[in-house]
Structure 1
Amino acid sequence: VSDLAPHLGPAAGRVAHEISRTLGGTPPADGIEAIAARAVYALAVQRAEGPDGADEPLPVDGADRDAVVGALTDQLGGTDRGGFAARAAKGVAVRALNSYLSPLSSLAHSFRSGITRGSVPAGGDILRYQARGAGVRAAIRAAVREAVDSGHGPVVLLAHSLGGIACVDLLAEPDPPAGVELLVTVGSQAPFLYELDALTALRRGEPLPAGFPRWINVYDEHDLLGFVGAKVFPGRVTDLRVDTRQPFPRAHTSYFAHHRLYELLAPELP
């Protein structure tokens, strides 16, 4: 939410400029304040990510979004139908809704752009890792050794997306790093790559090594890059589902902005 704060003012300014051109005395529809607030929120997110979109979508959580939208709704007049701000917001929202009814090709173009920006970088990283992943696994191994040598307590590997693939590969090697007591993967493709026989250290059909640590796998059903693991590795993986209430690709980058994730992991982490 703090990432959006600098952009809310400019977003509201743009909305104010637009409504001054579109209100024109036309009576607004009732109950449109919340829709207008969502439009301001969406514009602020767009501004925060930059004109060309961020490398990864801004991590936002559905609960935080609702809190911001609720505050904006109050500022726009809430249920007060008589204020100028309320009438202006309704006019802008009606125009925004009309824009979504424009030709299908425009909507499809926007949808395709979002999917491409969100999924191609992740897919490219995975392909690059598959070709040159030894260095990544070596870095994780060194970090584990340092943590174990520090003697500060149990060692947990917490990894998102590609990081989960690298950790599973490392821990499935014939000589895995000693001392890892728990693996937590978040939005990981490791189970899917196993079924494709594309993991580096574990062939499809082979079980996880006997010494493989306890594995918790967190996923969101709306995250097309996050896969369940319990059905692939029966008895060896515990799947935990969260709902960031974000569409893909935002669902893939919003796990760590989601309060429920920490509630689920708190009892598991030393």
Structure 2
Amino acid sequence: MTTHALLKAMKDNKPAFGIWINLPGVFNARAVARASPHLSWVLIDCEHGLTSLLPDAAESIQAIVGLGPHAPSPLVRIAAAGSDKSISWQIKYALDAGARGVLVPKVSTAEQARAIVADSRFPPEGRRGFGSPFTHGVWGITSTEYIKSSNDNIVIMIQIETKEGVQNVDALAAVDGIDCLLIGPWDLSLSLGYPPPSPDPHPDVEIAIQNILKATHKEGKKCAIYCTSGKQSLKRAEEGFDIISVTTDIGALVESVAANIATAVGGES
């Protein structure tokens, strides 16, 4: 199976809603992945979340794809930022684990973006090495099929969350092989000298966000954004964002517990 839910939504030009996984464990990952038929993807956060890149991310990916052909696409955010020299091996480990896509944080220059593409693709389009005896099995295909198809089916995402990234957004969006630019409103706000969103960004940061959206679409790429609620996600979808993180596993857990306890004690917060 060389296609997957996120890739299908992207090709169909439909908003792809997903969930950010911060909590570790295969049971948590699987429970989140099966929570809604409207999920196109789930992202295992190895940067700020509690899941290690190996072996935990690999096990969570396997738990998600084990749900069957209609499972949401498992993505991995690596820990290394755009200028970090350890990006290459972290991308390799995430993709060898069977991830359908990789997200690299704090990417600020076209040079960094081109290196990410090269690390994510097999020759002649890139420099990714092949050798894992497990990856193709996680995709449910042969190793030969995986080598032939992965360059076209792995989603390469970079995160725009620095002042330099905003300044270079046109060049970043133009890099061949980058599929999606994802906006991180929290670090982006801090980088531009504003407080974090609460829940919406400062108006000046919002201007930057809309400029990133326009620049990305101008190059025919997908634009993604991190949200914290269904209401906020609906608004972003209406604005034209293609890939939207609706909430996080820990956020949804805490909100549900708080809301149900408040109801149980008579509506007190």
Structures share fold, TM-score greater than 0.5: no
Tell me which structure has the larger Cα radius of gyration: 1
TM-score, with structure 2 as normaliser: 0.31
TM-score, with structure 1 as normaliser: 0.31
Quick check: which one's helix share is greater? 1
